[in-house]
Amino acid sequence: MYKLDDLNPTQREAVTAGEGTLLLLAGAGSGKTRVLTYRVAHLIAGGEVPWRVLAITFTNKAAKEMRERISDLIGSESKGLWVGTFHSVCLRILRREIDKLPPYTRDFTILDTADQLTVVKDALREINLDDEKTEPRAFAAAISDAKNKLLTPEEYAAGSPDYYRRRAADVYRVYQRRLAANNALDFDDMLMLTLRLFRENPDILARYQEQFRHVLVDEYQDTNHAQYVLVNQLSAGHGNLCVVGDDDQSIYAWRGADIANILDFQRDYPSARVLKLEQNYRSSGKILAAANAIAHHNSERMEKNLWTENDAGEDIMLFQAEDGREEARFVARKIREITDLEGRRYNEFAILYRTNAQSRLLEEALMREGMPYRIYSGVKFYERKEIKDIIAYLRLLFNPADTVSFRRVANVPRRGIGTDTLEKLLLYAEEQNMPVMDALKEAPYIPGMRAQAVAAAESFSALMRAVILEWDGGSVTQLAETLLERSAYMDQWKDERGAEAEARRDNIKEFLSLTTEYDSSAPEAPVLGGFLTQIALVAEIDSLDEGENAVKLMTMHSAKGLEFPVVFSVGMEEGIFPSERSLTENRLEEERRLCYVTVTRARERLYFSYARKRLLFGREAAGKPSRFLAEIPQECLLTESSPALDPDAPMGRGFGTRAGRDWRRQGAKLINQDPGEFNVGEKVEHPLFGPGVVLSVNGAGGDAIVKVVFRREVKELVAGYANLEKMNM
């Protein structure tokens, strides 16, 4: 049952405020989602019909949770509520109404990202832009960007002197015509077409305005322009709109979210009532003080101050490590110390980092300590495509008969060795009983090989020989660098914009850190063989047994909305966090909000750490502490420096405790969740990459590799770690 007593006075006011427009601008952990949930329950309990209430959340997972909470509060009365994401709500509307937008009909199909790229390529061909240098993904991203801003091709091109943009508009026009001819929608069309439907059919809009007598939106600060307009239109008649959000937590501008939606809310809705929730129920006093101080360094924000009745709590700790490896070791040991001393479980800990590439050292440290951990979102370092590719190249250089690696990279990047040619080469090698790399040299004599295929095979062979010659037995890093350069591997994403391409480049650079580290540990010859053996061992541990009690690792972005008793915020260095890009592209304020989000995830304890020098992205850099650290009241902060480099020496105060060493004997245990089975064609949603469709599934259960096409990228994810939500549409 639901009781208004469970709310503080302002929360209660927000829940019981009757008709009208309401903005609840509330800091982290102040109960925004709780208010939204109670408000829906209160409306229904007061006699409102469930299907007249529309509540919009950021993810399908959040929608599911909200539905469950409402049902806990008022039981079966909640049946029929409209709770969902923007996409799922629009889809529901279009399934009923799209025939008012000819030539679309109600049995339209939704294109996944792979299909979408195919259509982009077709469009490029149609207007003769399909040369080798053109990157279809970049055009797909431009189209998506235009649609999120509700721009037609003509509007997108209008007045722009930018050549690229005008070409993109041309592609967009042809692309859209082809979609319509196929009765197909891409993800962005769901919002765009719903809005067009409303614009061209005022009667339909009026019907939905009439139906949804109450519209509620969570995480309003991360809405984009199209979503803003949709909310605005649906609530225009009655004005019963309740949005909750925190401008300090707007962290998706890079994906089209517009912070102005919340900052200008009062201007757009002059009659809106604005309530602020300022009591935080989540974090200790010191953690909150740090969060407040960070938020105050931004200029573009609405003034608010979080306070709490919670105890001041422990000091926030800042650990200064010599290097990234020591930092990782510090985190692992600290977790062990706290679990030993306080009897905490591993799943009370979260390690948050800025980029996925940072997870490798942490994973290794946790593994070495025999601690179970789970990585949320993103694939483990060694399972990433580009890392697997480069390892396959090295294996092939080491062992010219390695057909598995040959299959993997013979045509990556594309060099004209198609499936057909590949099979012929493998067959020939098998028949002649020779290493497949040697078969390449004999390509001219292989029956049925066309001249082009022969040339492709010979040039691949020449490439690999050139790499070996140039390397001449130097370090593994030299070899990897030569390989990357000669094979032009990185050029695959050269023209690509967006986070995915950037992540790939970062991962490759991080791989070079790994080789540099190996080289400097002065291994015995044979160098390459030793290196490959070492990484094979690390990768082997990746597939161990399952369980539940695990330390959580994730990026700061994917931690939004969540809370943990103990949080480690690692890599607090200039150039990492804030990231180098945010500094050059003037996105420091968004980066600082991300810091605020990170800090406010912590309930009881918060640890920062940074390394004085770090090998990241292939080079060693001297680490300057992040400017965000200086923004925290120093009286809340306890600094500790690296005491010793001896791996077995106790680190700092408290590290001497070694109670309960039993964990050591348990060996490494890696945990993954049971995701259920994924099916090809199924719609899924990922917290970071958004909605997507399953392209292929390899293997079963938590270890299955699920290939998903998201709106802007294709990802191979390990089912158990991927944090993929099944999306019911």
Tell me how far, at minimum, the Cβ of 276 lies from Mg ion, in Å. Answer: 15
Tell me whether residue 310 or residue 609 sits nearer to ligand ATP (CB atom): 310
- DSSP 8-state symbol, 412: S
Task: Rule CB under 6 A: say whether 11 interacts with ligand ATP.
Answer: yes
**From the list Mg ion, ligand ATP, none, which binds 380 (C-beta under 5 to 8 Å, kind-based)?**
none
Residues in Cβ contact with 93 at an 8 Å cutoff, skipping those fewer than 6 apart = 194, 197, 208
Residue 406: exposed, middle, or buried by beta-carbon count in 10 A (0-12, 13-18, 19+)? buried
Residues in Cβ contact with 355 at an 8 Å cutoff, skipping those fewer than 6 apart = 503, 506, 555, 576, 579
**From the list Mg ion, ligand ATP, none, which binds 28 (C-beta under 5 to 8 Å, kind-based)?**
ligand ATP
What are φ and ψ of residue 699, in 5° steps?
95, -175
Tell me whether residue 14 or residue 89 sits nearer to ligand ATP (CB atom): 14
The residue among 373, 346, 354, 439 whose CA lies nearest residue 400 is 439
**From the list Mg ion, ligand ATP, none, which binds 29 (C-beta under 5 to 8 Å, kind-based)?**
ligand ATP
Tell me whether residue 173 or residue 282 sits nearer to ligand ATP (CB atom): 282
The alpha-carbon radius of gyration of the chain (Å, integer) is 27
Of 529-568, binders to Mg ion (CB under 5 A) are 561
Task: Rule CB under 6 A: say whether 61 interacts with ligand ATP.
Answer: no
Tell me whether residue 281 or residue 398 sits nearer to ligand ATP (CB atom): 281
The residue among 695, 560, 729, 594 whose CA lies nearest residue 86 is 729
- DSSP 8-state symbol, 563: -
The helix (H) or strand (E) run that includes residue 83 is: strand 82-84
Residue 64: exposed, middle, or buried by beta-carbon count in 10 A (0-12, 13-18, 19+)? middle
Tell me whether residue 254 or residue 281 sits nearer to ligand ATP (CB atom): 281
d(C-alpha 616, C-alpha 327), whole Å:
13
The residue among 304, 313, 217, 309 whose CA lies nearest residue 8 is 309
Tell me whether residue 289 or residue 535 sits nearer to ligand ATP (CB atom): 289
The structure tokens 């990585």 sit at 375
The residue among 688, 682, 663 whose CA lies nearest residue 729 is 682
Tell me whether residue 32 or residue 384 sits nearer to ligand ATP (CB atom): 32
Tell me whether residue 28 or residue 694 sits nearer to ligand ATP (CB atom): 28
Catalytic residue list: 32-33, 218-219, 249, 601
Selected range binding ligand ATP among 7-15, 96-104, 179-187, 343-351, rule: CB under 6 A: 7-15
Reading the block at residue 465, the tokens are 């020989």
Residue 563 and residue 282 in contact, taking contact as beta carbons nearer than 8 Å:
yes
> CB-side exposure of 64: number of CA atoms within 13 Å?
9
Among 69, 87, 282, 557, binds ligand ATP (CB under 6 A): 282
Tell me how far, at minimum, the Cβ of 7 lies from ligand ATP, in Å. Answer: 5
Tell me how far, at minimum, the Cβ of 203 lies from ligand ATP, in Å. Answer: 37
**From the list ligand ATP, Mg ion, none, which binds 74 (C-beta under 5 to 8 Å, kind-based)?**
none
Of 248-267, binders to ligand ATP (CB under 6 A) are 249
Size of the site for ligand ATP (CB under 6 A): 16
Among 2, 22, 32, 257, binds ligand ATP (CB under 6 A): 32
Residue 554 and residue 352 in contact, taking contact as beta carbons nearer than 8 Å:
yes
**From the list Mg ion, ligand ATP, none, which binds 570 (C-beta under 5 to 8 Å, kind-based)?**
none
Among 30, 88, 339, 626, binds ligand ATP (CB under 6 A): 30
Task: Rule CB under 6 A: say whether 594 interacts with ligand ATP.
Answer: no
Selected range binding ligand ATP among 21-29, 46-54, 290-298, 511-519, rule: CB under 6 A: 21-29
**From the list ligand ATP, Mg ion, none, which binds 282 (C-beta under 5 to 8 Å, kind-based)?**
ligand ATP
Residue 5 and residue 211 in contact, taking contact as beta carbons nearer than 8 Å:
no
What number of other Cβ atoms are within 10 A of residue 580's Cβ?
A: 11
Paired strand residues for 23? 243, 274
Tell me whether residue 42 or residue 408 sits nearer to ligand ATP (CB atom): 42
Tell me whether residue 5 or residue 648 sits nearer to ligand ATP (CB atom): 5
Reading the block at residue 638, the tokens are 């306890």
3 state DSSP class of 137: helix
Task: Rule CB under 6 A: say whether 33 interacts with ligand ATP.
Answer: yes
The helix (H) or strand (E) run that includes residue 714 is: strand 714-718
Tell me whether residue 8 or residue 134 sits nearer to ligand ATP (CB atom): 8
The residue among 29, 23, 21, 4 whose CA lies nearest residue 275 is 23
Residue 52 and residue 24 in contact, taking contact as beta carbons nearer than 8 Å:
no
**From the list Mg ion, ligand ATP, none, which binds 250 (C-beta under 5 to 8 Å, kind-based)?**
none
Residue type, 649: A
Among 2, 7, 235, 582, binds ligand ATP (CB under 6 A): 7
d(C-alpha 118, C-alpha 179), whole Å:
11
Size of the site for Mg ion (CB under 5 A): 3
Tell me how far, at minimum, the Cβ of 185 lies from ligand ATP, in Å. Answer: 31
**From the list Mg ion, ligand ATP, none, which binds 7 (C-beta under 5 to 8 Å, kind-based)?**
ligand ATP
Reading the block at residue 236, the tokens are 């225009």
> CB-side exposure of 282: number of CA atoms within 13 Å?
28
Tell me how far, at minimum, the Cβ of 56 lies from ligand ATP, in Å. Answer: 14
* Residue closest to ligand ATP (Cβ): 31
Tell me how far, at minimum, the Cβ of 245 lies from ligand ATP, in Å. Answer: 9
Tell whether the torsion through CA atoms of 309, 313, 319 and 325 is positive or negative. negative
Strand runs labelled E in 446-505 = none
Reading the block at residue 367, the tokens are 């593994």
Among 10, 30, 33, 261, binds Mg ion (CB under 5 A): 33
Tell me how far, at minimum, the Cβ of 84 lies from ligand ATP, in Å. Answer: 18
Among 22, 23, 24, 28, binds ligand ATP (CB under 6 A): 28
Selected range binding ligand ATP among 22-30, 307-315, 441-449, 666-674, rule: CB under 6 A: 22-30
* Residue closest to Mg ion (Cβ): 33
Task: Rule CB under 6 A: say whether 675 interacts with ligand ATP.
Answer: no
Task: Note the residues at the interface with ligand ATP (CB under 6 A).
Answer: 7-8, 11, 26, 28-34, 246, 249, 281-282, 561
**Residues near Mg ion (CB under 5 A):** 32-33, 561
